[in-house]
Amino acid sequence: MITILEAAGARCVPGAYPPSDPSIKAPPFQRLIYGSIESGFPIILCFAAAQGRAHAIPLFGHTFDEDMWVPHAELSYFRIGKGTTYIPSDSWLSSYVGHDDNWGSNYCIPRHFLYTRQHCKDWPKGPKPCVMQSDRVEYVIATLPREVRVGPIDAEAIGVDFLPSMLVQLPDPSEPWKKRLIEYSNNKLLVVRPILLHSSQYLEHLGKVVDWDYSRIRSGAIETLRGWAGFPNGWVWMVEISVPELFSANRRKVGELLIRADRPPGTKRDFRNYVLARVPGYFAFHTGGTAAAPQYRFIDNGTQGHVPLFGCEDPVVAGCAFP
């Protein structure tokens, strides 16, 4: 399957569960699925079916449930740990949309129906993984454009890593949405959504968005970005930053970070991956300093409030038309 997909021009990001090499830690399979689908690129899900058989289906979309209990429960009852620094945007994902050649297309597959480990009910000393597991996810083949070298999980991590050093330098931090952004970041309550898009699509997005006070991004600022030598001409990750109430109920965000998609991520902070950020009131450009203490220049962008998510710019559309 990978050979065929790559010959057709895709870059495949596979995940095996369990990994064929025990020393390799496979990415969380739900995040691997979501990362491609949210940007408009399908995945193939391979099941280990009963009696040693296998079954593969493509997934190409998902549903969204603003009333989803899971993100609230994870924050209140099931906190993952001190290392949790944000809320993934797929926390409100209800079902994947896929095709099954035995049954048809556009079926909703409940997210929590999928698992990679099964437990034996009759194990003598409590539930443990079964030796012969079936009906579980065994492989995931996520797809991205061939030129992309940064995956969605890495893009999230890179964006969130850059944000705190930027927020402590924000001009006018007492302004309402800047203050809320800082507070939510400090309390690890930001919602993060990575979207892969072409850099020209980002400029189009900036030209469409309107904040809550009907202010738009300054057209002069957009044209400056268009002519900026440091602006990429190709694939970029837009890591959207929101807060739970805005994201789930209003499909809106507070800002975003733009990350180069054509540079492999390293193990340390590298500002060659960073393009720019948009926060309430400003674009933020990296101007120097050290990796531990970077410096930013803030340029007025004309909007102080929250704006629609990518794909949700049209106010007459009830849902979001993701790419």
- Are residues 105 and 174 part of one domain? no
- State what percent of residues in the chain have pLDDT above 90: 69
- Cα 182 to the center of its chain, rounded Å: 20
**Residue 317: band (very low, low, confident or very high) from pLDDT cuts 50, 70, 90:** low
Nearest to 13 by CA among 139, 136, 158: 139
Q: Residue 229, class by beta-carbon neighbours within 10 Å (0-12 exposed, 13-18 middle, 19+ buried)?
A: exposed
Residue 42, domain extent: 2-79+90-145
What residue has token string 């597991």? 133
pLDDT digits (tens, 9 = 90+) for 106-119: 999 999 889 887 66
Examine the pLDDT at 176 and tell me if it is beyond 70: yes
pLDDT for position 121: 59
Within a domain: residue 85? no
d(CA 170, CA 280): 9
- Are residues 232 and 194 part of one domain? yes
Alpha helix ranges (H) inside 168-293:
176-186, 199-208, 219-227, 244-245
CA dihedral 155, 44, 143, 23 (to 10 degrees): 60
pLDDT digits (tens, 9 = 90+) for 120-173: 655 555 555 555 556 789 999 999 999 999 999 999 999 999 999 999 999 999
Instruction: Tell me the pairing of strands 255-260 and 274-279.
Output: antiparallel
Examine the pLDDT at 28 and tell me if it is beyond 60: yes
- Are residues 272 and 163 part of one domain? yes
The predicted model gives 208-213 an average pLDDT of 94
pLDDT for position 69: 80
- Are residues 102 and 72 part of one domain? yes
With contact defined as beta carbons under 8 Å apart, do 203 and 220 qualify? no
Total of domains in the chain? 2
- Are residues 169 and 109 part of one domain? no
Q: Which two tokens stand for residue 276?
A: 């720019």
pLDDT for position 321: 53
Q: Which two tokens stand for residue 167?
A: 């927020």
pLDDT digits (tens, 9 = 90+) for 212-250: 999 999 999 999 999 999 999 999 999 999 999 999 999
With contact defined as beta carbons under 8 Å apart, do 32 and 140 qualify? yes
- Are residues 135 and 188 part of one domain? no
Q: If you ran DSSP here, which 8-state letter would residue 129 be given? A: B
**Element of type H or E holding 161:** helix 152-167
Q: Which residue has the higher pLDDT, 125 or 186?
A: 186
pLDDT for position 192: 95
The values of phi and psi at residue 226, to 5°, are -60, -35
d(CA 180, CA 306): 11
Examine the pLDDT at 316 and tell me if it is beyond 80: no
Within a domain: residue 199? yes
Examine the pLDDT at 84 and tell me if it is beyond 90: no
pTM of the model: 0.89
Nearest to 35 by CA among 159, 148, 109, 144: 144
- State what percent of residues in the chain have pLDDT above 70: 89
Within a domain: residue 169? yes
What residue has token string 């710019």? 313
- Are residues 193 and 115 part of one domain? no
Q: Which residue has the higher pLDDT, 264 or 267?
A: 264
pLDDT for position 81: 46
pLDDT digits (tens, 9 = 90+) for 57-77: 999 999 999 888 877 777 665
**Element of type H or E holding 73:** helix 70-76
pLDDT for position 266: 80
> Could you tell me the CATH number of the domain that includes residue 109?
3.90.70
d(CA 203, CA 226): 7
Within a domain: residue 44? yes
pLDDT digits (tens, 9 = 90+) for 274-300: 999 999 999 999 999 998 899 999 999
In the chain, DSSP finds a helix count (H) and a strand count (E) of 8, 15
The predicted model gives 6-26 an average pLDDT of 89
Examine the pLDDT at 323 and tell me if it is beyond 50: no
The predicted model gives 190-205 an average pLDDT of 96
Final residue of a domain: which of 102, 120, 145? 145
Within a domain: residue 319? no
d(CA 216, CA 77): 40
Examine the pLDDT at 79 and tell me if it is beyond 70: no
